[in-house]
Every structure is written in structure tokens, then in C-alpha cells.
Amino acid sequence: MGPLTRLWLFPAVAALAAWLAPSRKSSRAVALAASALAFGYSLWLLVPFSAGSGALRLEELWSAGSELGLRYRVGVDGLSLSLCWLTTLLTLLGLAGSGSHERENGYWAAFLALEAGLLGLFVVQNLFYFYLFWEIILLPMFFIIGLWGSDNRRYAAYKFLLYTFLGSLFLLVGFIALPTYHHAATGKWTFDIPELARTALDPKASPWLYAAIALGFAVKIPVLPLHNWLPDAHTEAPAAGSVLLAGVMLKAGVYGFLRILLPVFPDVSAAALPWLGGLGVANILYGALCAMAQGDLKRLVAYTSISHLGFCLVGMFSMTGEGLAGASLQMLNHGLSTGALFLMIGMVYERVHRRGVDDFGGLADVAPWLAFFFAFTLLSSIGLPGLNGFVGEMLSLLGMARVCGLLAGLGVLGTILAACYALPAFQKVFWAPAGAGSATSKMTDLTLGERSILWTLAALILWLGVYPQPMLALLEPSLTPLVLQR
């Protein structure tokens, strides 16, 4: 068993242990220890990773099932590894920030199972296992939203599940058809992603295959007009659930594009540029405009996610070096800043059980630390130079500007709109005088534990903002083959 199998199997086993733990307290301890260990282990993987060579490192291949092409194959490049770090980090912080009150065993187990599924998804290199993990992550999330969410949780969980499964089944058909066409072209059965990427497929069938698979990924990102499940799911999920949903799960869609569609179908991807790039811009603008109209802080952040993932699409479909780097970096950025925002809203909600913009006022006087972190993260999220959001959005738009000036120009509008939704909301919540019935008086400032969680994220936000080179250097080898030679 190789290190990557251990990476996803460990949280899975820990999930079982947390579920069967004798008490809620011990279950929490298991979950926190396991997620900390998983985070440490994922960081340590950089050591053998740097020692290796080639595009995919730390590879592991099992021979079982290879006659059908269904062999288990894992391996990581910089892109996969960075997403593994994001997953383990956000799981750890999300669980650590999951409040002091006692949660059931199932809660901790569900998060560890989710972590296992996400890690598996980011390390497998075989379509069959990719789909397996892709589906597995939906189940814990269904229970996280449905069991431990807020008032409208049942509706949100059910909608989330049906919507994403609708996409998944198109994905399934595409994932079966793709090797079948590959078989027709080469006479060999394989579901291995790197091998599929080496063969040109029937040009008549490719657009259809592409459409089916892209539809599956687009629901997850989500690309307009398939975004309908997202605001409900994000709003109703518990804080840690929103963190992982926005921070990591949405990235699975972008990752799918980068890992499967762009390498296997470079021509169709280039042809899809006006469509998917255009939808990306639509995401940016629509998400920002909707965010302006929200009165619920969580819903507001949910819509900003739609806007931010639009930048990923724009950067990715420029298919230039800058754009792809920007898109991959934007995935990490969005994970960090949106993760921090959802955590903070969760901390507020846990204290006063309110999260409307109008429920507060003058919060900065009562909770100065909260105000500091909120401002810091919000500024990173709207793309203030010096913080991480700027680098990702800037590179994405730069890439697009080299291909299509119009789309890039429209995308820039999104950064202006971002200021329009973020700053008034911040002003209302933290600086405006508290109205009647405001929850501000019941609010207390962040505890030391909560501050240390947020310091971690803030440090990373700042680091990626002023010195993103190491991360970009790590990502670059996985992205260079995707650049379209024009």
C-alpha cells in the first residue's frame, strides 16, 4: 500500500472509529486527532514528492481488474497535491471550529468520510475510481446538510443530492463511453486518465462525450444555469459543512475539467472557449449581482462563490499559461478565504443564532478581533492587491485578455461589483449603529482557539498574496501540457 492510498484510507478508517466511539467526547477527539494527522501526513508527502520525477509522482498501480481497464491507479502532480492540502487543512480547521457543544458521533464520522472521499478523488488516475469517489462524497454531505444543518435543511439536502446526481449520471455515461471510443480507436480497454489523454478520439463523437462529462462537472462547480442547488445547500449546511462544500467540493468540478477534459479533448476544449468562457463571465457577474441583494450573510457568501468560480472558468478556458495558473491558484484562494468567511459566520451564528445582515450593527465595538479577520478575509475575497484573491483573479483575467479582450473586460467588471457587495455588507454589520432588536449586544469576541484557526488562514492568505511563486512553481508542471499552442 503506497502513501497515497494511506492518505485517503486513513480518514476512512478513522471515520469508522469515530462512528463507533463510545462517547461523543471521544468521537470528537478521534476526529480532531485523525484530521490533524491527515493534515500532517499530506504536508509530509511533499518530501517524497519533491524527490520524485515525472508528471505523476508517488504512483501506485494495482494489477487487479486491468484486463477490463478498471485497475486501481493513484498518483499526484502539483495540482492534486495542492488540493489534498486544501482538503486536509479545511477539514482540520472546520472540525476544530465546530463549536464546543457536543456533536453526535455521526457528525465527526461524516466529516472524516467526506475527507476520505475528497482525498481519494484528488489522487486517483482512473475514471472508474474517480467516479466512485465522486459519488461517495455526496453521501456524507447529504447527511451533514440534512442532519446538522439549519431550519430548511431537509429541503436543501434533498435538492443538493438530486441536482448533483443528475449531473453525475451524465458523467457516468460519458465515463463509460469515453473508454469505449478509446477502445474502438486503439483496441485496448483502459480507464486510466493519462492513457486516455494520449489518444485522439473520433472527432464526431468527441463533442457529445465532452458535453456529457462537462455537464457533470458543471453542476458541481456550479456553472450558470445549473447553480440553483448551491445557495440553499451552503446556507443550510452547518459551518464546517459549508467550509468543505465551498472550500473543496466545488473545486472537484474545476479539477475534473483540468484533470480529464482539457487533457483528453484539447481541441473540443478550445472550441468550447466562447461558450464556457462566456458562462464563466456570466457566473462572475450574476453571482456578484445576486450577492448584492442578499440579506443573509451565508447566502451572500454562497453567491460570491458562484462569482469566484467564474474566474476559475475564465482562466481555465483561456488555455494560456497565465490563465491556467490563475484558475488553479484561484481554487486554493477561494478555499481559504471562503472557508474563513463561513467559519466566522458559523462562530457568530453559534453565539447568537442570527446571521442576517440587518441583525447586527456596530459589531466592531463588541468583537474587534472578528471585525479584523472579517475585513481581512473580505478584502482578500474581493481581490485587494497584496492578498491572495488578487493574484488568482488577475492571472485568470490576464490569460483571458490574451485570447478574448471582451470577455476579460467583462470579467474585470466583476471585481468592481465585488466591492459593491462586500463593503456595504461589512459596513452595515460592523460599523453602522445597532438598530432595535439587534443581536450585537449578545455577541462576544472570538476566543483564543478561534483566533488561532483564523490566524492560520490569514497567514496563508497573506503568503499567497505576496509570494505566490512557490505555489505557482508547484502547479506549473501540471498545467504546461494543457496550454493550447496557438
Query: C-beta of 150: minimal distance to other proteins in Å?
Result: 13
Query: C-beta of 62: minimal distance to other proteins in Å?
Result: 10
Query: C-beta of 162: minimal distance to other proteins in Å?
Result: 6
Q: Closer CB to other proteins, residue 154 or residue 188?
A: 154
- Amino acid 48 reads P
Q: Closer CB to other proteins, residue 264 or residue 382?
A: 264
Q: Closer CB to other proteins, residue 181 or residue 390?
A: 181
Q: Closer CB to other proteins, residue 216 or residue 278?
A: 216
Residue with cell string 481497464: 69
Query: C-beta of 271: minimal distance to other proteins in Å?
Result: 21
Q: Closer CB to other proteins, residue 210 or residue 373?
A: 210
Query: C-beta of 64: minimal distance to other proteins in Å?
Result: 5
Positions in the binding site for other proteins (CB under 8 A): 64-65, 67-68, 70, 128, 131-132, 135-136, 138-139, 142-143, 146-147, 153-154, 157-158, 161-162, 165-166, 169-170, 172-173, 176-177, 180
- Amino acid 85 reads W
Q: Closer CB to other proteins, residue 46 or residue 162?
A: 162
Query: C-beta of 37: minimal distance to other proteins in Å?
Result: 23
Query: C-beta of 24: minimal distance to other proteins in Å?
Result: 14
Q: Closer CB to other proteins, residue 1 or residue 64?
A: 64
Query: C-beta of 177: minimal distance to other proteins in Å?
Result: 5
Q: Closer CB to other proteins, residue 103 or residue 428?
A: 103
The three-state DSSP-derived secondary structure of the chain is: CCHHHHHHHHHHHHHHHHHHCCCHHHHHHHHHHHHHHHHHHHHHCHHHHHHCCCCCEEEEECCCCCCCCCCCEEEECHHHHHHHHHHHHHHHHHHHCCCCCCCCHHHHHHHHHHHHHHHHHHHECEHHHHHHHHHHCHHHHHHHHHHHCCCCHHHHHHHHHHHHHHHHHHHHHHHHHHHHHHHHHHCCCCCEHHHHCCCCCCCCCHHHHHHHHHHHHHHHCCCCCCCCHHHHHHHHCCHHHHHHHHHHHHHHHHHHHHHHHHHHCHHHHHHCHHHHHHHHHHHHHHHHHHHHCCCEHHHHHHHHHHHHHHHHHHHHHHCCHHHHHHHHHHHHHHHHHHHHHHHHHHHHHHHHCCCEHHHCCCHHHHCHHHHHHHHHHHHHHCCCCCCHHHHHHHHHHHHHHHHCHHHHHHHHHHHHHHHHHHHHHHHHHHHCCCCCCCCHHHCCCCCHHHHHHHHHHHHHHHHHHHCCHHHHHHHHHHHHHHCCCC
Torsion angle of the four alpha carbons 55, 60, 63, 66, in this order, in degrees rounded to the nearest 10: -40
Q: Closer CB to other proteins, residue 58 or residue 138?
A: 138
Query: How big is the CA angle at 90 (ends 387 and 318), to the nearest 5 degrees?
Result: 55
Query: C-beta of 355: minimal distance to other proteins in Å?
Result: 22
Q: Closer CB to other proteins, residue 235 or residue 338?
A: 235
Query: C-beta of 158: minimal distance to other proteins in Å?
Result: 6
